[in-house]
Structure 1
Amino acid sequence: MFKQADSANGGGQISARLALLRDEIVRRQALAFQPRPAGSRGPAWERFLGELSTPVEHWQAMRKARPATELAGASRPVMLLPGFGTHPVRMKPLARVLEAAGHRVSDWGLGFNFGPSEERFERLCERVVAMARKEGEPLVLVGWSLGGIFAREVARLHPEAVRLVITMGTPFSGDRRANNAWRAYQLIAGHSVDDPPVGRDMAVKPPVPTVALWSARDGIISPRSACGRKGERDLAVPMRCTHLGFAAHPDVAATVGRLIDAY
């Protein structure tokens, strides 16, 4: 009799969990299929499809790239923050160039970037503060796409631990739906782009030097959102690459290296 009762309770718990899972799937689907508001536009689909050319562009650019040793300057501690849906390994090419130039490079230590949560953001802040203390100087934070939102927010809350913020194709300015990724973001992250747990005031400039790299050829993020307005960043630098190219394009790596040396 007791075994039957335990079995019934176990079956009830499984059913309850399945019901919760179904409700969550339905909720996220609703977020993913929200209509785009009138007047809100991301990059044209031709540019979005142009993201497929990223590997070819990298190969062509690598043939013309200067040796990394020519970029050598003062050694700085640098943390790389990956874009939405990506793992830090995607930024290894950038890390190798910066390491060859003498910088001490680390990743953000949180694995895949599937969107912000208060807990993950708190862990990132703790990691940045601890690393700055260990290094004996503030860090340079280099954030690709959503990683740049994290970088700006960390610097806003802990400016004593951050020397410089460099964002790459980061949508910190203007319309939060001026991109071709907001539906995927809402599906995976599980919350609306209008009410994120981190970066509610994304356009507020951190109290440290802040540089925005943007590209008119970006097929995912609106160039206008990634460039920002005066007062939202200290400097905006145009690049010629795809959105996916920010993580590994040699011209981007060279520009990041020069900016680190300049600050």
Structure 2
Amino acid sequence: MHRASPASPSHRPIFDAPGQPWRGILRRGTRTAPRQQLLPGQGQAALVFPRYGAGPESTLRLRGALDGAGFRSFDWGYGTDTGPRSGSLRNRLRYLEEKVIDLFEAERQPLTLIGWGFSGLYARELAKRVTPLVRQVITLGTPFNAGAGECAMLRPLHDQSGRVPEALQRQLRERPPVPCTSIYTMGDGAVPWQMCVAPESPGSETILVPVASHRQLADHALVREIIADRLAQPGGDWAPFAG
């Protein structure tokens, strides 16, 4: 597990204002071989959103690993994610709110929302809308920093000019009021890594992992370890991943 370093030109921070607090992202880990056994869970609940263009099969192995470790994971329940039609993100989120509310009532505990690619935007925006029901957000290769590059994955959000509107870009960049972990890889191929990085702030972290492509993120052992570590934390006692 590595933290992005600004010492190299290829790793320049996308938020380049003077005094930006990047210390948590700059620290480099030394362990490269992840533990194969996930931390034991105690029934902590997670709602898992699929990879863009795919359905529940894309997260089946991840959910199986989490369930096997003692967590309780749930598919989003709406099949293949093709993105909101004609920029109707608000309508899609209203639809997904019902899923979060139903699951919260069934599990009687705040949920961790795990989104992969575009669906990480659902997770982040839902956490802003139903904050008391959400424990934390974990995203895998999610382009929430929409103004930091071009990404075909965001075309469902384009306006008539062929771009994500400025107001929506600002909305997507805004961090939810719950702990957030953004996991990304420079070898993503589908999402520019700069679009997955946020400046350090209390309750948020950005973690660079050595994964070969966007499609492999949810199946990588280190990514699963990070997710399990985040889920296993005591409620209300969030701390950055120590590696």
Report the TM-score, using the length of structure 1 for normalisation.
0.67
Does residue 239 in structure 1 map to residue 175 in structure 2? Answer: no
C-alpha distance in 2, partners of 1:108/1:258? 22
8 Å Cα contact 1:121/1:198 also seen in 2? no
Q: Name 1:260's counterpart in structure 2.
A: 231
Q: Name 1:218's counterpart in structure 2.
A: 188
Matches within 5 A, 1:85-164: 85-116=53-84, 117=88, 118-164=90-136
8 Å Cα contact 2:141/2:185 also seen in 1? yes
Does residue 78 in structure 1 map to residue 46 in structure 2? Answer: yes
Matches within 5 A, 1:6-21: none
Aligned letter for 1:91? T
8 Å Cα contact 1:150/1:199 also seen in 2? no
Farther-moved stretch of structure 1 (154-163 vs 225-234): 225-234
The structure with the larger Rg is 1
Task: Give the gaps of 5 or more residues in structure 1.
Answer: 1-63
What displacement does 1:197 show? 11
Residue deviations 1:156-195 (CA, integer Å, cap 9, x gap): 011111001001100111526433x24xx53x67855514
C-alpha distance in 2, partners of 1:232/1:194? 28
Aligned in 2, Cα 1:198/1:205: closer, same or farther, shift over 3 Å? same
8 Å Cα contact 1:212/1:233 also seen in 2? no
Aligned letter for 2:141? G
Does residue 167 in structure 1 map to residue 135 in structure 2? Answer: no
Aligned letter for 1:158? V
8 Å Cα contact 1:138/1:161 also seen in 2? yes
- Describe the SS at the equivalent of 1:142: strand
- Describe the SS at the equivalent of 1:216: coil
Structure 1 runs (4+) deviating above 6 angstroms are 196-200
C-alpha distance in 2, partners of 1:190/1:238? 28
CA RMSD of aligned residues (A): 2.6
- Size of the aligned set, in residue pairs, is 195
8 Å Cα contact 1:173/1:232 also seen in 2? no
Residue deviations 1:30-65 (CA, integer Å, cap 9, x gap): xxxxxxxxxxxxxxxxxxxxxxxxxxxxxxxxxx76
- Describe the SS at the equivalent of 1:102: coil
Q: Name 2:28's counterpart in structure 1.
A: none
Farther-moved stretch of structure 1 (213-222 vs 224-233): 224-233
Residue deviations 1:99-118 (CA, integer Å, cap 9, x gap): 01111111111111111234
8 Å Cα contact 1:92/1:248 also seen in 2? no
What displacement does 1:145 show? 0.7
C-alpha distance in 1, partners of 2:204/2:76? 24
Aligned in 2, Cα 1:119/1:72: closer, same or farther, shift over 3 Å? same
C-alpha distance in 1, partners of 2:203/2:50? 20
Q: Which has the higher helix share?
A: 1
Report the TM-score, using the length of structure 2 for normalisation.
0.72
C-alpha distance in 1, partners of 2:75/2:66? 12
Q: Name 2:220's counterpart in structure 1.
A: 249
Aligned in 2, Cα 1:190/1:226: closer, same or farther, shift over 3 Å? closer
